[in-house]
Amino acid sequence: MTLLEHAQVSLEAVVANKLRSTLTTLGVTIGSTAIILLISISIGASHEVTKLVEGLGSNLFMVAPGRGKGGPLTASPSLLRLSHAERIQKETSFHVVVSPVLNNLAAVRYGREAKAGVIVSGALPNFPEARSWRPTQGTFLKKSDLELARRVAALGRTVETALFPSGDSLGKDVVVAGEKFRVIGVMESKGQLFDIDMDNQIFIPLTTAQRIFGTSALSFIFVAVPKPDDIPAAMAEAKRIVGQTILPEQFSVKSQGETLETVQSISLIFTAMLGSVAGVSLLVGGIGIMNIMIVSVTERTREIGLRKALGAREPDILIQFLSEAVLLSFMGGCFGVTLAYIGSVVVSKASPTFALSISTFAVGLALIFSIAVGTFFGVYPAYRAARMDPIEALRHD
């Protein structure tokens, strides 16, 4: 028999027992659906985080305070000062844009509307250039605002939406840490980074922030270089310059690329873990296929004996039953793909902010895995059928 004939016979056997075939494929269908949806969700989330990290600036690195003596989860008081940022700007051999920032949490209020836990960022006028984060309405801070320590502010989108539902915020006065600030601009949306809402902040002159928060320390020093290829050398220079006045363990220099690599590594582990969990469902479905195929071999013992008596060889019987197992498993995989696409549409409509896109890689993996499961668990029943003695098989009731 040719492969086409084997496939035709297998299809006829599957169609002859519709209900049993459907129930047999159910385990593989559920496993395939789970693999496709879980891996697609993981890959989609990874792409979103990657876009956000890259959106912060692919040619950016930052100098941050070091960890405390208590270990990696503790932070030491910042010893970074404006003088460090000025020295990096002057002494580095690259044409960099250095933008120090002082962050603090405070409540922001306008009339009866209030927003707690807002990140108040004291910044320089060159912040939009360093972070590729520009205002969509109004303007950002000016040099005169910094020199005169004016009380002006550029709002993040989340803050503007909370305080000004109508969107008319320019020129209004908001209260930040008990002082009035005139709104001069609204920043473009940056979205969510991990559990941090990047738009839940406002920007005020660095000199003003140092005055109202009573500190000359800096939270970060952002450094943008002309080309991403220049980052390693520029980071080494920044580390040398800052290290001349404070100890190496009292600060750290990190690039966006390092953050991105960490995110991608975590995502890869997470995807593999989810895929493995879903793969267990496929294995359970494979065991179900093996059990049903053993039952099928027992029911068709006389048929096997008759075929052998008419000249069928052991490989012919083996391929026939193995192809049935593979066909059942492949059908389950196809049903799983269909259910996964339906599920993605439902999820996307239920949550417009999260558009779930089915990964081609996940579909291919699910189909290949389903065929592999059918082949693996179909070998024993097929071998058992092929090894039957034709005389004993014909005697079977």
> In angstroms, rounded to a whole number, what is the distance separating the alpha carbons of residues 367 and 135?
48
Average the pLDDT over 173-195 and give the result: 88
pLDDT surpasses 70 at 321: yes
Pairing between β-strand 251-255 and β-strand 97-110 as defined by DSSP bridges: unpaired
SS3 3: helix
Between 174-183, 338-347, 348-357, the lowest mean confidence (pLDDT) is in 348-357
Domain boundaries, the chain: 3-52+262-395, 60-254
Q: Which residue has the higher pLDDT, 206 or 370?
A: 206
CA 271 to chain centre: 9
Residues 6+ apart with CB under 8 A from 61: 222, 223, 225, 231, 234, 235, 238, 253, 254, 255, 256
The tally of CA atoms less than 13 A away on the side-chain side of residue 361 is 10
> In angstroms, rounded to a whole number, what is the distance separating the alpha carbons of residues 81 and 70?
23
Average the pLDDT over 120-142 and give the result: 93
What is residue 290's predicted lDDT score, i.e. its pLDDT? 86
Pairing between β-strand 179-187 and β-strand 152-155 as defined by DSSP bridges: parallel
Best CA proximity match to 120, nearest among 43, 200, 184, 50: 200
Q: Are 201 and 160 in contact (CB under 8 A)?
A: no
Q: What is the DSSP string of 291-339?
A: HHHHHHHHHTHHHHHHHHHTT--HHHHHHHHHHHHHHHHHHHHHHHHHH
Reported as type and span, the H/E element at residue 154 is strand 152-155
pLDDT surpasses 60 at 12: yes
> The tokens of 15 are what?
């169609």
Best CA proximity match to 275, nearest among 364, 342, 339: 364
> In angstroms, rounded to a whole number, what is the distance separating the alpha carbons of residues 225 and 231?
7
Q: Which residue has the higher pLDDT, 254 or 204?
A: 204
Give the single-character DSSP code of 230.
G
What is residue 98's predicted lDDT score, i.e. its pLDDT? 94
Model confidence at 135, pLDDT cuts 50, 70, 90, reads very high
What is residue 385's predicted lDDT score, i.e. its pLDDT? 84
What is residue 28's predicted lDDT score, i.e. its pLDDT? 85
> The tokens of 246 are what?
């404070």
What is residue 68's predicted lDDT score, i.e. its pLDDT? 47
> In angstroms, rounded to a whole number, what is the distance separating the alpha carbons of residues 305 and 327?
23
> In angstroms, rounded to a whole number, what is the distance separating the alpha carbons of residues 251 and 84?
11
Most confidently modeled range among 34-43, 90-99, 267-276: 90-99
- What confidence tens digit (pLDDT) does each residue in 28-64 have? 888 888 888 888 877 777 776 666 665 665 688 889 9
> In angstroms, rounded to a whole number, what is the distance separating the alpha carbons of residues 124 and 208?
11
End-to-end Cα spacing for the chain: 27
Average the pLDDT over 241-248 and give the result: 92
Residues comprising the chain, all counted: 397
